[in-house]
C-alpha cells in the first residue's frame, strides 16, 4: 500500500520474537504514513503472536480492547527461577525437578485456575512511585508489588517432558485469562508451588478478544499488503451493535443525547448509522444513552 493512502482501522499483527511492541508501532507508522498509531496491550520482546494495532481514528478503540480476554500458548520450565520470570533473565535458583510427578504438576496448575490473587511480575510495566517496575528491577532495585485479582478461565496442560538429563521439566500449556494476568507470574507461581522454581521459556499470544492468529499478518506480509480491518467492521466485531436511525445518527454525531439502547448490555455498544458507519460507542445511563466516544464525521484522522 502506498504510504499516502491511510484509513482508520485495526491491523492484527503477528509480532515476531525480539521486537518490542513499540518497534512494531514504529514500523507501522512508516508503512501507513501516519503518526497516529498505537497498540492494545504490550507483548514482551520474547513473546510472539497477536498484537492489535490501531490506525488514526481507531486508536480511540484501543483502550476498550486492552481490557478484553487473552489466550496464550506457553512453555514453563520447572527447576529454575529467573530474575525476570522468563528466559531472558539470569537464573537465580536451580533445583532438581526430577522427582516432581505429572500428577503434582496438574494439581498445582488446577490451583492456579479460576479467580486468583496474583502478584505481577517484578519486571512488569506497572508504575511504582512514578517509575516503571521493570526499570527499577533492572537498575538493581527491589520491587514488592501487591497481589491483585485476575481470572484464569483455562490453564490446560498439553505436554510434560524431561530436559537436561531429567533435572528440569518443561510443561506446554494453553491459558485463557483476563486482562492484567501475567503468564510469567503463572510460571513463577507454578514453580514455587512445586518447590522447584519456574520460569517461562516460550510465549505466543493466539487471541485478543475476538481477534486471533488466523486474522494476523507478519510484518513482512504487511510491507507487501497493509491489511487494515476497517473501523466500522472492527467496532462491529468488538461490541454489540445498535443500528441508528438517520436522525439518531445526526444527533449523536453532534453531541446530542439519544434514547437508551435498552438491551441490558453492561458495556459499550457500537452505534452504526444506516450506511453501516460507526458513529461512536454508547452506554446506557437510565433512559438515555451516554456517548463514550463519538467519531468526527468526514475527518479521517480525527
User: Is residue 293 within a helix (H) or strand (E), and if so which, with residue range?
Assistant: strand 288-294
Residue 109 backbone phi and psi in degrees, to 5: -65, -45
Q: How far apart are CA 230 and CA 299, in angstroms?
A: 15
What is the DSSP code string of 182-215?
-HHHHHHHHHHHHTS-EEEEEEEEEEETTEEGGG
Set 14, 44, 85, 176: catalytic member = 44
Q: What is the DSSP letter of 217?
A: B
Catalytic residue flag (residue 23): no
Contact in structure between 263 and 69 (CB atoms under 8 Å)? no
User: Is residue 14 within a helix (H) or strand (E), and if so which, with residue range?
Assistant: strand 9-15
Conformation bin of residue 195: beta by default, left when phi > 0, alpha when psi is -120 to 50: left
Q: How far apart are CA 120 and CA 92, in angstroms?
A: 18
Residue 273 backbone phi and psi in degrees, to 5: -80, 175
Q: Which residues contact 166 (CB under 8 A, 6 or more apart)?
A: 98
Alpha helices of 124-198 — where are they, by DSSP H? 133-138, 183-194
Neighbours of 243 (CB within 10 A): 12
Q: 437510565: which residue's cell?
A: 286
Catalytic sites, residue numbers: 44
Amino acid at each position: 500500500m502506498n504510504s499516502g493512502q491511510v484509513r482508520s482501522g485495526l491491523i492484527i499483527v503477528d509480532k515476531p520474537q525480539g521486537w518490542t511492541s513499540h518497534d512494531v508501532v514504529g514500523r507501522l507508522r512508516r508503512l501507513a504514513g501516519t503518526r497516529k498509531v498505537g497498540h492494545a496491550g504490550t507483548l514482551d520482546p520474547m513473546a510472539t503472536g497477536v498484537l492489535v494495532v490501531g490506525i488514526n481514528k481507531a486508536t480511540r478503540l484501543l483502550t476498550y480492547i486492552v481490557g478484553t480476554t487473552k489466550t496464550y500458548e506457553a512453555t514453563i520450565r520447572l527447576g529454575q527461577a529467573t530474575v525476570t520470570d522468563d528466559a531472558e533473565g539470569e537464573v537465580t535458583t536451580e533445583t532438581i525437578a526430577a522427582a516432581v510427578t505429572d500428577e503434582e504438576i496438574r494439581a498445582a496448575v488446577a490451583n492456579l485456575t479460576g479467580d486468583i490473587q496474583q502478584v505481577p511480575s517484578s519486571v512488569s510495566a506497572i508504575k511504582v512511585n512514578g517509575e516503571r517496575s521493570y526499570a527499577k528491577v533492572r537498575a538493581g532495585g527491589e520491587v514488592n508489588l501487591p497481589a491483585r485479582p485476575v481470572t484464569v478461565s483455562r490453564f490446560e496442560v498439553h505436554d510434560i517432558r524431561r530436559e537436561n538429563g531429567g533435572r528440569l521439566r518443561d510443561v506446554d500449556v494453553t491459558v485463557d485469562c483476563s486482562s492484567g494476568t501475567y503468564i510469567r507470574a503463572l510460571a513463577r507461581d507454578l514453580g514455587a508451588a512445586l518447590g522447584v522454581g519456574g520460569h517461562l521459556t516460550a510465549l505466543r499470544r493466539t487471541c485478543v478478544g475476538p481477534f486471533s492468529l488466523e486474522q494476523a499478518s507478519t510484518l513482512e506480509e504487511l510491507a507487501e499488503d497493509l491489511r487494515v480491518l476497517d473501523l466500522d467492521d472492527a467496532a462491529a466485531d468488538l461490541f454489540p451493535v445498535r443500528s441508528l436511525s438517520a436522525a439518531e445518527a445526526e444527533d449523536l454525531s453532534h453531541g446530542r443525547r439519544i434514547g437508551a439502547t435498552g438491551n441490558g448490555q453492561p458495556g459499550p455498544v457500537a452505534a452504526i448509522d444506516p450506511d453501516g458507519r460507526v458513529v461512536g460507542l454508547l452506554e446506557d445511563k437510565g433512559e438515555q444513552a451516554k456517548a463514550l466516544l463519538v467519531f468526527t464525521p468526514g475527518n479521517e484522522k480525527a
